Amino acid sequence: MIDSVEFLGVSQRTERNVTLKILYMLVFLGMTIIYPTESMMEFPNMNYLPQDDWFELRMMGTKVGYTHVNITSAEHEGLEIIQVRSEMRINLKRSGLGIELERTKVVHMDKKFQPLHFITHSNESGEEKRVEGQVQDGQIFIRTSLSGDVSEDRKPIPEDAIFEDSLGLIARERGLKVGNTYELNVFNLELFRSIPTRVTVTREDTVNYDGQTIPVIVVDYNLDIMGGIRSTEWVGKDGTTYKMEMSSLGIGMELVRTDREQALGEVGEVDVILEYRILPRGSSPVRGSYFKARVMLNEGDIRKAIMQTDDQSLILDANDARKGILEINRSPVSTGPNTLPIHDTEASEFLKSTVYVQADDPAIQQKSKEIIGEDTDAWEVAQKICRWVYANITDKNLKVGFGSAKQTLQSLEGDCTEHTVLFTALARAAGIPTRIVAGLVYQGEAFYYHFWPEVKVGRWVQMEPTLGQTQADATHIQLAGGHLESESVLEFGEGVLRTLNQLQIETIESH
């Protein structure tokens, strides 16, 4: 265990960036612009194009960035198509510290809204990440470039799937009459899978824009994912989008129509991390081997937010699915007989190299060998790697959005995500199945969102390279979700999203 002064200093520079990363990815999932058109009856001839729109991005009522959308006709492989180009930038300032995240996306659709092709560029890793996809014969072929490495993949895409960029266009084509409901199959370019989506025209309303009161129609878009993500759009009767809002999952984000000058103007001061921290009730938890607490969601099923593992159990309240008793018990880890490399069929996927965890990179492989030397005991090797990562990432900062292992080995800087992806790559290179988990950790006076790894050394053991703990203490609460084996942080952020501004924790016992 490291001393408390150092622990607090590290935590303030590291865990707090996790929420930014999850929110950043969520913006692209749930705040898709419902691109405006003037007359959907004329759409097949695309007479209304080009269309150019600017929006302020607000979080908790404060401007934190902008979105720019341009729709035009174009040509793709000899076909006349629709091209939608969107740009989003988020710039969050916190007590003099800030992080700027941006992304551009270009999608191509035919005149029947069928997906054809897309390209995205983003900087969440601190380097440009480029993803390109081509739809062909019921498959979408994906090529990802990051840190000089290229990976290729393919995913099935249903015949009736649409890109999210055409969601509003189709809704308008089918009619914006109050009471209308449509079921659509939306292929999301963050998760690379289809999401059933219900479109409901709910009511008529008015908005204030440029000194005028504008009559609008309110449309709800419900994405069947992570317990339901709902976006609401206020659209004028001429097809102009004036506002979009996402209020589900405890997050208050909105896009508000404006002009270019206002959109590109200064952003406000906002500390979303302090907003989303969880102050526990009862006594302050002790960072030891045992933690027991009452947990409750304001709404939803607590079992869908908190993982149950060998170390972590959840007893549901018999009368209320929102409530439960959480118990975390970290038992000691024994050395041997787990020698390297570990052969475990069920955990073999956690030895692979991925876009962010480049376990097969020559520099990663070489560094792993240097760290472990001749040692073959899996737990001893995992501890060596943990200590090395903690000691050698000396510049613990918030500069990088989501750095890869290769990038982090070169820079030796970053926060908990960079510590975790580097540890994971080095451990996998050594032959230890390792995966990344998301959750909460107690520090100072509150629980903050955090990433850390766990290794398979006979059983799964959670480790803590960011804070210098070879075995993570019992105040690490693992939340529900998958593990970071693909492109998107959202792949394993479900528990985070279900608990933002929703979870209450009351300490019962800790030691």
In the chain, where the domains are located: 4-16+337-499, 31-263
DSSP 8-state class, residue 237? T
What are the tens digits of pLDDT across the range 147-196?
Answer: 788 889 899 999 999 998 887 677 667 778 899 998 989 998 877 888 89
Domain 4-16+337-499 has CATH 3.40.640.10: no
What are the tens digits of pLDDT across the range 341-354?
Answer: 898 988 999 999 98
What are the tens digits of pLDDT across the range 373-397?
Answer: 999 999 999 999 999 999 999 887 6
Q: How confident is the model at residue 401 (pLDDT cuts 50, 70, 90)?
A: low
The confidence score (pLDDT) of residue 68 equals: 95
Does residue 334 register a pLDDT over 60?
yes
Give the range among 98-107, 210-219, 434-443, 480-489 with minimum mean pLDDT: 480-489
Distances (CA, A) of 447 to 398, 461, 474: 18, 21, 12
Is 25 in contact with 90 (CB distance < 8 Å)? no
Q: What average pLDDT does the structure give for the chain?
A: 84
Please give the structure tokens belonging to residue 494: 């479900």
Of residues 236 and 319, the one with the higher pLDDT is 319
DSSP 8-state class, residue 306? B
What are the tens digits of pLDDT across the range 278-295?
Answer: 999 999 999 999 999 999
Does residue 325 register a pLDDT over 80?
yes
What mean pLDDT is predicted for residues 353-366?
93
Is 271 in contact with 440 (CB distance < 8 Å)? no
Q: How confident is the model at residue 421 (pLDDT cuts 50, 70, 90)?
A: very high
Does residue 48 register a pLDDT over 90?
no
The whole-angstrom separation of Cα 318 and Cα 320 is 6
Q: How confident is the model at residue 275 (pLDDT cuts 50, 70, 90)?
A: confident
The confidence score (pLDDT) of residue 491 equals: 54
Give the range among 80-84, 146-150, 369-373, 467-471 with minimum mean pLDDT: 146-150
Percent of the chain predicted with pLDDT > 90: 51
Give the range among 160-169, 443-452, 453-462 with minimum mean pLDDT: 160-169
What mean pLDDT is predicted for residues 89-115?
79
What mean pLDDT is predicted for residues 34-43?
38
Of residues 46 and 462, the one with the higher pLDDT is 462
The confidence score (pLDDT) of residue 247 equals: 64
Does residue 246 register a pLDDT over 60?
yes
Comparing CA positions, the residue from 401, 357, 419, 399 lying closest to residue 124 is: 401
Which residues fall within 8 angstroms of residue 65, CB to CB, at 6 or more apart?
A: 56, 57, 88, 89, 90, 91, 267
Q: Identical fold at 4-16+337-499 and 31-263?
A: no
Does residue 493 register a pLDDT over 90?
no
Of residues 54 and 21, the one with the higher pLDDT is 54
What mean pLDDT is predicted for residues 301-313?
92
Identify the bridge partners of residue 135 per DSSP, sorted by sequence position: 140
What mean pLDDT is predicted for residues 392-403?
74
Of residues 47 and 71, the one with the higher pLDDT is 71
> Cα dihedral angle (192, 202, 174, 85), rounded to 10 degrees?
-40
Q: Structure pTM? A: 0.82
Does residue 4 register a pLDDT over 50?
no
Give the range among 92-101, 169-178, 387-396, 418-427 with minimum mean pLDDT: 92-101
Enter the CATH code of domain 31-263: 2.50.20
Give the range among 241-245, 252-256, 277-281 with minimum mean pLDDT: 252-256
Which residues fall within 8 angstroms of residue 233, CB to CB, at 6 or more apart?
A: 34, 168, 218, 219, 220, 221, 241, 243, 244
Exposed/middle/buried for 65, CB within 10 Å: 0-12, 13-18, 19+? buried
